[in-house]
Amino acid sequence: MKSKSLVLLAGAALGTAASANNDQADRAEMLADAEQRSSLLAAGATVTHDNGHFTFTDASGNNSMAIGLFGQTRYNFNFGDEERFGDTGDDADGDIVNGFQISRVKLFAGGTVGSPDFEYYYQFGAGEANNNGGGLTLEDFWGKFNFEGGGHIRAGQGRPSQGFEAMYQPWELQSFERSLGHALFAYDRTQFVEFGYQNEDQTWDFAAFLSDGAGQANVDFPAASEADLGIGGRGNWYFSGDASDFQYQSSSVDRTDYAGRAGVGAFWDTHGETGIATTDFDIWGLNADVEVKGASWSAGGYFYLVNVDPDGGESGTHFAFRVRGGLNATEQAEFYVFWDSIFLDEDAVGGSDIEDNFNFLGGGVNFYPIADSHAVQLGAEVIISLDDTSDLFSNLDAISVRSDQNFSLYNLLGDDDTEIGVGVSLEVLN
């Protein structure tokens, strides 16, 4: 009995000693890590926080990383006909639909590695086209090498150079969402390689890309949805100011000069000749944009045109546009309005009995609690559908460039009469 007690006491003592040794090792590791970080800072490395995210840079300037988190939540009211979802009589409750929406969450990191000429970017997201889902999905991963003289090559997954709207991040937009034309007809994320050039004064640039086709993010190469070949390009001209003037769609009250830019792009995808169980069809599209801004005001116009040509089916040419304008009333408050129109080729969507023109009027207000920063943004927006949208929603597969639309992000659910969406939003970037 005594021998057992001695064994237990010895074991406890050894355990206590081991625990103490582990604690000492952990403390030593933390101190060494802290000393290394202090050494890096002492050697000239920097950490900065600007407009909602942190950037770490080593003393040489060759290696850097900017990391950030972005979240966007809304509360929406949608008003329409009480029988629009199929219920009738006393069971028809479709006149008001309301509730919270986690519109999107982003986790991102980007910077340089080995040289200021080699850039990288990662982004994961939830919500958005994931129909308000909570799972993180890889959205962007690309590397970019900048050549001396203004050329670059960029490859990976993300948005190749197309319209101005597409290249804005969600926290850089003026309204809650990009245009409805973008949702239907923009190329959006895919896997690609891009070659481009920008002149020294940053007053014009162009790029051309080779891809797996529109909307082919996170798709493996044998997938039936991939294009046999996807190609496209874009050119931009800054007729006043330069690219640095367009980090955000909005202007600011302290801006004193005028800036403007215009651009045009095109793409072509062909499907059905290679791969596994592929569908034979071609898509080509054009996009054109113009944006201007001055002291306290900004405006823009965005145009999309696509042709969808299925094998053995009716070819259709559809187009859409948005015009918008905004005014900064103070350093922290901004008002904006927009008009969206969509025009479908009636022969491709069922003939003259189908509604083929759709118009939407919207507007809102943004409030920035932190002056001169988009780190926190409060917003309210109204959108009004002026036409019967039931035919639009029932023909999405026939007209869309991609298959990932989520119109609840626009506070639109579909109606055979006027539909009104009212929402409030909170955005946090850090």
Q: Give the tens place of pLDDT for each residue, 29-51.
A: 655 554 555 555 556 788 888 76
pLDDT at 138: 94
- What percentage of the chain reaches a pLDDT higher than 70? 87
Q: Residue 267 sits in a domain of what CATH number? A: 2.40.160.10
Q: Are residues 357 and 238 in the same domain?
A: yes
Q: Do 289 and 174 share a structural domain?
A: yes
Q: Is the pLDDT of residue 11 over 60?
A: no
State both tokens at 293. 């801004």
> With contact defined as beta carbons under 8 Å apart, do 77 and 91 qualify?
no
Helix (H, G, I), strand (E, B) or coil at 183: helix
CA distance 34 to 23: 16
Checking if the pLDDT of 58 tops 70, the result is: yes
Residues 280 and 207 in one domain: yes
Q: Do 226 and 159 share a domain, yes or no?
A: yes
User: What local confidence, expressed as pLDDT, does residue 172 receive?
Assistant: 93
Full domain range(s) for residue 167: 44-429
User: How many domains does the chain contain in total?
Assistant: 2
| CB atoms near residue 163 (< 10 Å) | 26
218-232: pLDDT as tens digits: 999 988 889 999 999
Question: 298 pLDDT exceeds 60?
Answer: yes
Q: What is the pLDDT of residue 9?
A: 40
Q: Which residues contact 14 (CB under 8 A, 6 or more apart)?
A: none
Instruction: Compute the distance between CA of residue 329 and CA of residue 273 in angstroms, rounded to an integer.
Output: 55
- In this predicted structure, which of 85-94, 95-104, 144-153, 178-187 has the lowest mean pLDDT? 85-94
Same domain membership, residue 260 and residue 280: yes
Q: Mapped to the 3 state alphabet, what secondary structure does 248-310 carry? A: CCCCCCCCCCCEEEEEEEEEEEEECCCCCCCCCEEEEEEEEEEEEEECCEEEEEEEEEEEEEE
Residue type, 305: L
215 by DSSP, 3-state: which? Answer: coil
9-18, 290-299, 407-416, range with greatest mean pLDDT: 290-299
Check whether residue 403 and residue 418 sit in a common domain: yes
Nearest to residue 206, comparing CAs of 238, 181, 183? Answer: 238
Q: Is the pLDDT of residue 311 over 90?
A: no
Same domain? For 167 and 23 the reply is no
Residue that is last in its domain, among 43, 61, 77? 43
Considering the domain architecture, whether residues 203 and 291 belong to the same structural domain is answered as yes
Identify the weakest region by mean pLDDT among 22-31, 246-255, 318-327.
22-31
Q: Are residues 303 and 342 in the same domain?
A: yes
CB atoms within 10 A of CB 183: 26
Residue 287 has pLDDT above 90, yes or no: yes
For residue 394, the model assigns a pLDDT of 79
Residues 133 and 16 in one domain: no
Residue 10 above 50 pLDDT?
Answer: no
Q: Does residue 25 sit in the same domain as residue 103?
A: no
Mean pLDDT score of the chain: 86
- Pairing type for strands 229-240 and 259-271 reads antiparallel
State pLDDT tens for residues 228-270.
Answer: 999 999 999 999 998 888 989 987 766 778 999 999 999 999 9
**196 and 216 assigned to the same domain:** yes
